[in-house]
Amino acid sequence: MSRYPKRASVVVVGGGIQGLSCAFNLALRGVGGVVVLDAGYWQGGASGRNGTLIRGGFASPEWTRFFGHSNQCWMNLAKTLGHNPMFTRRGYAMIAETPKTAAMFEGALKVHAENGVTSRRLDDAGVRSVLPAIAAERVSAAIHFRDGGVAPHHAPMKAYLAACRARGVQVHYRSKVTGIETANGCVSAVMVGDHRIDADAVLIAAGAFSTEMAKLAGVSLAGYPMRIEAMALEPTRPMIGPALALIDRLAYMHQTGRGEVVGGIEVPERPRPSLKTDLPVMTGTAKVYFEMFPALAQVRIMRHWGGMLHISPDYGPLLGPHPALRDLWITAGWSYGYSGAPGAGDLMGKAIATGQIDDRMAPFAVDRFDRGKPVRELGIVLATD
């Protein structure tokens, strides 16, 4: 007997935090027969390899509205799931070193205020009190989000998985989707090797592999896979309180509950399809630490890893129905998909279950590039051009 069912209401392709969050929300809305299939192991995708930073505010109103909602979802997630995702609201600081970024912060603060995200400008004394270890003389401007923070991957991944299973969602790892079949212009089934699962709808939440999955269904999806890397230092006692984005250095970092400083930088490189790590990110990240947190100089690097993202043309998520194929849904293009997962699950769950597209996800529609409506966002640590 096969471990897979013969039919499903919704097959979710990808069991990362996006796939699990959407599956959970579908079940929460009473959709039965949801099946999640993942080619790798639990936490093997970007959802188990990221910086775990969570914030609500960005520079654009679209991102801020969406991620502000997701941040609220994080704060209630323990209650929603009935399991502890260990979200720790320890704050999040964005740091500027150049006048250009400082100017961008001015606009961002206004956007936050207009869209209900709590943020404040940190003056020099503020920087020194929130981040006593930072080389404050290098900081030209800083924004602090009270409600931002982090959650160690394993905790929300464990909480979502348990909550999914408790609500009857079938989740299978080491189960690679090899085909997506269509009939009469609609999605009709998903293949796992020889096994066929008839499906009313399919949600692609396959991270870096989302374009490839769309191809299986015979449709295109903008974007390409790209590796980014992060590293962890040997543990030290708490010295860095909030999560941090060092915008001018394309760097992000925080100190975990285990005392390890985890973070990375983005080095503009050709996109390479592999999880292998390379020297420039490690040495570049170390340089950022050395200059911005001099006390880390003699702390050792413990491990360094890579993870794959799906980069969309405007670096923003691709959310909603696929314009070319009925009953095919997409949650992909994520570069901040950890932070965005509880919100995306909530809004996508609603969309798939009721057909209603929430205003906060509408700007990220999959067909926005065809309509000439990309979303411009400057407050992210990605090597955008």
Partner 1 sequence: MQRLSHARPARVAFTWNGHAIEGREGDTVGAALHAASITTLGRSRKHHRPIGLSGSFVSGSLATVDTRPNVRLDREPLAAGLTVRMQNTWPSADLNLLSLARLLPARMTYAGFEHTNLMPSGTRRFEVWEKLLRFMAGVADAPSAPNERTAPKGARVAVDTVVVAGGPAGRIAASAAAQRGERVMLISRGSTPGESAARMVGSLPELDHRVETRGGLEAFGIYRDGAFVAAAPLDGRVGALVIAPKKIVLATGRRSCPPLMPGADLPGVMDAATALSLAVDCAVAPGMQVAVIGTGAEIEVARRLRDLGVHVVATAPTQSLRRITGHNAVTGIETDRLITCDALVHAGPWRPDPALAFMAGCDGLLQLRDAPHLSGVSLAGGAGDAAEPIILGPGPRDAAFVCPCMDVTVAEILHHVRRGETDVEVLKRLTACGMGPCQGVPCWDQLAALLAEEVGGAPADYGHPTYRGPRRGLTVAQAAGLDGLVEPDR
Ligand X SMILES: Cc1cc2nc3c(=O)[nH]c(=O)nc-3n(C[C@H](O)[C@H](O)[C@H](O)COP(=O)(O)OP(=O)(O)OC[C@H]3O[C@@H](n4cnc5c(N)ncnc54)[C@H](O)[C@@H]3O)c2cc1C
State yes or no: residue 38 binds ligand X (CB under 6 A): yes
**Amino acid identity for residue 39 in this structure:** A
State yes or no: residue 16 binds ligand X (CB under 6 A): yes
User: Could you tell me the two tokens for 378?
Assistant: 């400057």
Q: Please report, as residue ranges, which positions from 154 to 183 form the binding site for partner 1 (by CB under 8 A).
A: 154-155, 158, 173-174
Cβ-based nearer residue to ligand X, 207 or 320: 207
Q: Please report, as residue ranges, which positions from 214 to 273 form the binding site for ligand X (by CB under 6 A).
A: 228-230, 252, 264
Which of partner 1, ligand X, none sits in contact with 294, Cβ below 5 to 8 A by type?
Answer: partner 1
* Count of CB atoms situated within 10 Å of the CB of 100: 13
Q: Please report, as residue ranges, which positions from 283 to 322 form the binding site for partner 1 (by CB under 8 A).
A: 283-287, 289-291, 294-305, 308
> Which member of 5, 33, 61, 75 binds partner 1 (CB under 8 A)?
75
Cβ-based nearer residue to partner 1, 248 or 291: 291
Which CB contacts under 8 angstroms, 24+ apart, belong to 346-350? Answer: 346/21, 346/25, 346/69, 346/70, 346/73, 347/69, 347/319, 348/22, 348/25, 348/203, 348/319, 348/320, 349/22, 349/24, 349/25, 349/26, 349/28, 349/29, 349/31, 350/25, 350/29
- Site size for ligand X, by CB under 6 A? 40
Distance in Å from the first CA to the final CA of the chain: 52
Nearest-10 crossing angle of helices 61-81, 154-166: 60
For the CB of residue 135, give the shortest distance to partner 1 in the complex, in Å.
Answer: 9
State yes or no: residue 152 binds partner 1 (CB under 8 A): yes
Name which of 241, 156, 229, 200 is nearest 326 in CA terms: 200
For the CB of residue 194, give the shortest distance to ligand X in the complex, in Å.
Answer: 15
Which of partner 1, ligand X, none sits in contact with 297, Cβ below 5 to 8 A by type?
Answer: partner 1
Residue with tokens 């285990």: 258
- Bridge partners for 252 per DSSP: 245, 264
226 SS3 class: strand
Cβ-based nearer residue to ligand X, 275 or 297: 275
Q: Binding string to ligand X for residues 175 to 214, with x set by CB under 6 A, is what?
A: -xx---------------------------xxxxx-----
Q: Binding string to partner 1 for residues 319 to 358, with x set by CB under 8 A, is what?
A: ----------------------------------------
Which of ligand X, partner 1, none sits in contact with 52, Cβ below 5 to 8 A by type?
Answer: ligand X
Rounded Cα–Cα distance for residues 286 and 276 (Å): 18
- Residues within the interface to ligand X (CB under 6 A): 13-19, 37-40, 44-47, 49-53, 176-177, 205-209, 228-230, 252, 264, 307, 309, 334-339
